[in-house]
Structure 1
Amino acid sequence: MTRRLLAAPLLALAALAQAAPITLKDDRGATVTLPGVPQRIVSLLPSLTETVCELGDCAKLVGVDRFSNFPERAQKLPKLGGLEDTAVEALAALKPDVVLLGVSARIVDRLESLGIKVIALEPKRMTDVQRVIGTVGQVLERPDEARRLWNRIDGHIAQSAATLPAAARGLTVYYEVDSAPYAAGAASFMGEILTRLGARNIVPPELGPFPKLNPEFIVRADPQVIMVGQRSAPGLPQRPGWAGLQAVKNQRLCVWVPAESDVLVRPGPRMSEAAALMARCLRQAAAGPVPLPTAAFTAPPGGMR
């Protein structure tokens, strides 16, 4: 009886804490107030899906975008489309307490007109990733876990950099994120990881995080290493002028299989794995020709992004 009497006030306090409003500013600059810790969450960005799960609240996700395929639990959730074709009616039917999405998503106004709480986040640089993880931690009331997650990511990137031999440092790198060609510039989170690993990005910060390049720019830059996804790699040496690039002549092409590409392009909890993959590439390139993937291209469940 005494234990019950003592437990009752504690449970009441816990309920009050859970119901306390959460007010924050998202990356639009909009102030969003949630009535309490959300119990039903929709995530429309793979990196945000992974962040929610890494912070320990995967069970609160009730729907995700079609590209969210990690962790495995996310593959079993209702898929609600992508940036251009989100199934708004299906999303609303899930009755989410909050929707996490990218700033560029076109459905923000529509969702808000339906009375659905929206938090828009845009991680492009590493400082953005740190802030976004902190914001998601604030939404979930897991600020300590968010700080630990960021410290772990940052520490693992430093460890990857420390493992590289001197010969792997200072190599010039072109990282192609799309065959248009779009590149990961020095101002992107991917470019910042490369810089921390001692590589020299051929795309300067002033061109922006993910600029579309004139192919002649790449030919003139003549990178020593090229990083590219398996989908875009076929025919790359046949592009005009590319056969003479150092990276092509010396077979220093790091071709990512789809599962690796997913890790590399998502600004979230797996950035430490991304750093390890880039470090492996630089280490192999410094030693000689880089082995190409032996597995055929197979897109992961949900597609690629």
Structure 2
Amino acid sequence: MTRRWLVWLLAVLAGPAWASITLRDDRGVTMRFEHSPQRIVTLLPSLTETVCALGRCALLVGVDRFSNSPPQVQALPKLGGLEDAQVERIAALKPDVVLAAPSARVIDRLEALGLRVVIVDAKTHADVQRSLGLVATLLGTPAEADRTWARIQQALAEAAARVPASVRGQKVYFEVDPTPYAAGADSFIGETLQRLHMGNVIGPALGPFPRLNPEFVVRARPDIIMAAQRSLDEMARRPGWAGLPALRQRRTCGFDVQHYEVLVRPGPRMGEAALQLADCLVALSKVAR
């Protein structure tokens, strides 16, 4: 009886970690895992941050070259990016699962080698909430997804309360790439701006992250421009942009690399991103006075 009781107790204690998991990823593929993965590779910074936010950072064995948060992931093997992930090095790490974006070019090659690849796509706030739940299910930490989402919502509410009435409703042009690509109203960045009571020069019809004709921005005449500082510094040299009131009046938010990365990653630091945007809007309201 004593031995039988001990076997039962060990099974109870180990049960949650070794229970099988069935999930459907964001390309619609259903997968079954015999147990929660113990060796994980992530090929997108937001996915790296998600794994760590859900309490499983120690299970990461490799990440993409741009993953740099939290600090402990910087010591992990860097395995390339969306365009050039290093398939052989990934396979050599023998991961139980690879978490990747749908735009990663190596998905078929990884699966041809027998690796399990879970695709996670996040373009909106709802996508971020869903992706937290998806990864948490895979990792066996569903309660952490709820707690992480609650923290994001709390920070969004705090950020919204900070935004002064004097700037609310003004139209923002948020540049995600100097090509230029912009954050549309239906993107996670656009939804954050909306939560902060701000307008957007990019309407829903153009999609979440449209590539624009530079003349579009000239015609749109945004009230406020937000971008990486290095992009902001050269905007006045673009044809017609020097006359934009937002640039002439310095109604701009320029972000250094570290802070800009937070803004453009749809993951657990989305609340932190909202607070950064709110801080800039507060500063702009003081200049306007």
Paired residue secondary structure (1:161):
helix
Paired residue secondary structure (2:227):
strand
Aligned length: 288
| 1:12 has 2:11 as partner | yes
Who is 1:53 aligned against? 52
Who is 2:168 aligned against? 169
TM superposition shift of 1:263: 0.4
| 1:85 has 2:84 as partner | yes
Aligned mates of 1:250, 1:5 — CA distance in 2:
77
Who is 1:221 aligned against? 220
Who is 2:74 aligned against? 75
| 1:190 has 2:189 as partner | yes
| 1:203 has 2:198 as partner | no
Who is 2:95 aligned against? 96
1:27-46 matched pairs, under 5 angstroms: 27-46=26-45
Identity of aligned residues (%): 56
Aligned mates of 2:35, 2:114 — CA distance in 1:
16
| 1:158 has 2:118 as partner | no
Aligned mates of 1:156, 1:214 — CA distance in 2:
34
Aligned mates of 2:152, 2:109 — CA distance in 1:
35
Ranges in structure 2 where 5+ consecutive residues have no aligned partner:
none
Aligned mates of 2:137, 2:143 — CA distance in 1:
9
Ranges in structure 1 where 5+ consecutive residues have no aligned partner:
290-305
Q: Does the 8 A contact of 1:182 with 1:210 survive in 2?
A: yes
Aligned mates of 2:172, 2:216 — CA distance in 1:
13
TM superposition shift of 1:168: 2.2
TM-score w.r.t. the length of structure 2 is 0.96
Who is 1:277 aligned against? 276
TM superposition shift of 1:8: 4.2
Q: Does the 8 A contact of 1:22 with 1:35 survive in 2?
A: yes
1:203-282 matched pairs, under 5 angstroms: 203-282=202-281
Task: Between 109-118 and 14-23, report the one with greater CA deviation.
Answer: 14-23
1:257 is matched by which residue type in structure 2?
D
Q: Does the 8 A contact of 2:84 with 2:105 survive in 1?
A: no
Aligned mates of 1:142, 1:130 — CA distance in 2:
14
Q: What does the per-residue CA deviation read over 1:165-207, in whole Å, with 9 as the maximum and x for residues that have no partner? A: 2112111110011110000111100010001101100000110
Paired residue secondary structure (1:288):
helix
Aligned mates of 2:170, 2:21 — CA distance in 1:
46
TM superposition shift of 1:233: 2.1
Q: Does the 8 A contact of 2:218 with 2:244 survive in 1?
A: yes
1:165 is matched by which residue type in structure 2?
P
Q: Does the 8 A contact of 2:164 with 2:281 survive in 1?
A: no
Who is 1:298 aligned against? none
TM-score w.r.t. the length of structure 1 is 0.91
RMSD of aligned Cα (Å): 1.5
Paired residue secondary structure (1:233):
helix
Q: Does the 8 A contact of 1:157 with 1:275 survive in 2?
A: yes
Aligned mates of 1:213, 1:34 — CA distance in 2:
42
Aligned mates of 2:113, 2:20 — CA distance in 1:
20
Q: Does the 8 A contact of 1:171 with 1:199 survive in 2?
A: yes
- Displaced runs of 4+ in structure 1, greater than 6 A? none
Q: Does the 8 A contact of 1:32 with 1:118 survive in 2?
A: no
Paired residue secondary structure (2:211):
coil
Q: Does the 8 A contact of 1:250 with 1:288 survive in 2?
A: no
TM superposition shift of 1:238: 2.1
Aligned mates of 1:31, 1:5 — CA distance in 2:
37
1:58 is matched by which residue type in structure 2?
C
Q: Does the 8 A contact of 1:222 with 1:246 survive in 2?
A: yes
1:96 is matched by which residue type in structure 2?
P
Who is 2:123 aligned against? 124
TM superposition shift of 1:155: 1.7
Paired residue secondary structure (1:231):
helix
Q: Does the 8 A contact of 1:124 with 1:267 survive in 2?
A: yes
